[in-house]
Amino acid sequence: MSSLNLDDFTDRIQRPHGSVRRDAEARRERLAVPAGSLGRLDELGEWLAAAQHAVPVRPLDRPKVVLFAADHGVAALDVSGRPAGTASWLVRDVLEGVSPVAVLARRQGVPVRIVDMGLDCEPEALPAEVTARRVRGGSGRIDIEDALTAEEAETAFRAGMEIADEEADAGTDVVVLGDLSVGGTTPAAVLVAALCGTDASVVTGRGGAGIDDLAWMRKCAAIRDSLRRARPVLGDQLKLLAAVGGADLAAMTGFLLQCAVRRTPVILDGVVSAAAALVAQRAAFRAPDWWLAGHSSGEPAQAKALDRMALEPLLDHGVTVGEGVGALLALPLVRAAAAFAADLPEIGESPAPAKPAEPGEPGESADPAEPAERTSG
């Protein structure tokens, strides 16, 4: 008998401090910069103050990209723009620094953590710190069989919780959450359709790698058939994740809920993280108060999930690559909101003069004729 009861999260998760948010709003009214002139950055700054329980807001100095990786058996139906069982290629590209998320994270100085929950490759092919949490190799074909056993779903869920605790204990102050998967948008769409009570055609998108019309029709049929298997277990989130989810989705659900328990803000990326968030919301209705939607990926299932959780995307640049890229693009916006909320002076207050950079420090080179040296994480 499992000792994991997701209903417990309802009592363990509290909303960001409302009184602190009111204090942040009052401080914003006293700033020399007119209220409303910073647009949505004002709202973000007040949200961060409530999340941190601090006025002024503390700078976001320790962000982390966390990517959950897995292969999905449904990709064998040719519903993805990538060959089935090749998510490990995505992982290797990140590790070698040649993927979009690796390039962007390096430029922003943000560390990246990859967690293999269900890659279809030999564990020895990747570093031990990546594969240490793997639950199984790949997942079942959800149109005809369960993605995971009940035990595997719980193991993955608990692994996500443990990773959230590790990040909180390490001082991570905001998480950029994404996935590295092949076939992952299909189970994500199934979860969203099941939880929103809609049809397959409403949630079927083209995926991060892009698919043609024939592949879209195959994907729609797979989602339709998977929905028939999902509906009987809608009342139990773990059973739902086992039936039509996957190890990465189960882990992300546990991760999101435990991040809310630990008061760690999370920026969601695409449809996979949005689907996991929707499952988590079903377990604890206050949990979405700790999350931001980084961007709109154009996936209809993502839009459906975000609307259900009342989360408005920060960006809409047409980025479909996945990997956490869209959420990472939103991170500078969130950090800017924190900086404004922390450093802008109040009316009549003299701001502290900025310390000039010493020769050789980032921002100023020893030789004025030479550009400053760029640093990376």
Cα angle for residues 188, 327, 189 (degrees, 5° grid): 10
Antiparallel, parallel or unpaired: β 63-71 and 112-118: parallel
Q: Do residues 333 and 315 make contact, with C-beta atoms less than 8 angstroms apart?
A: yes
SS3 154: helix
SS3 29: helix
Residue 124: exposure state from Cβ atoms within 10 A (0-12, 13-18, ≥19): exposed
Q: Do residues 156 and 300 make contact, with C-beta atoms less than 8 angstroms apart?
A: no
Residue with tokens 């030999």: 122
Q: Do residues 178 and 273 make contact, with C-beta atoms less than 8 angstroms apart?
A: yes
Q: Do residues 371 and 363 make contact, with C-beta atoms less than 8 angstroms apart?
A: no
Name the residue among 42, 226, 57, 28 with its Cα closest to residue 146.
Answer: 226
46, 152, 323, 346: which one is catalytic? Answer: 323
What CA–CA distance (Å, rounded) separates 64 from 266?
10
What CA–CA distance (Å, rounded) separates 192 from 302?
8
Catalytic site residue 323?
Answer: yes
Q: Do residues 139 and 147 make contact, with C-beta atoms less than 8 angstroms apart?
A: yes
Q: Do residues 325 and 104 make contact, with C-beta atoms less than 8 angstroms apart?
A: yes
Cα angle for residues 225, 245, 215 (degrees, 5° grid): 50
- Could you tell me the two tokens for 128? 């031990």
Q: Which residues are catalytic?
A: 323
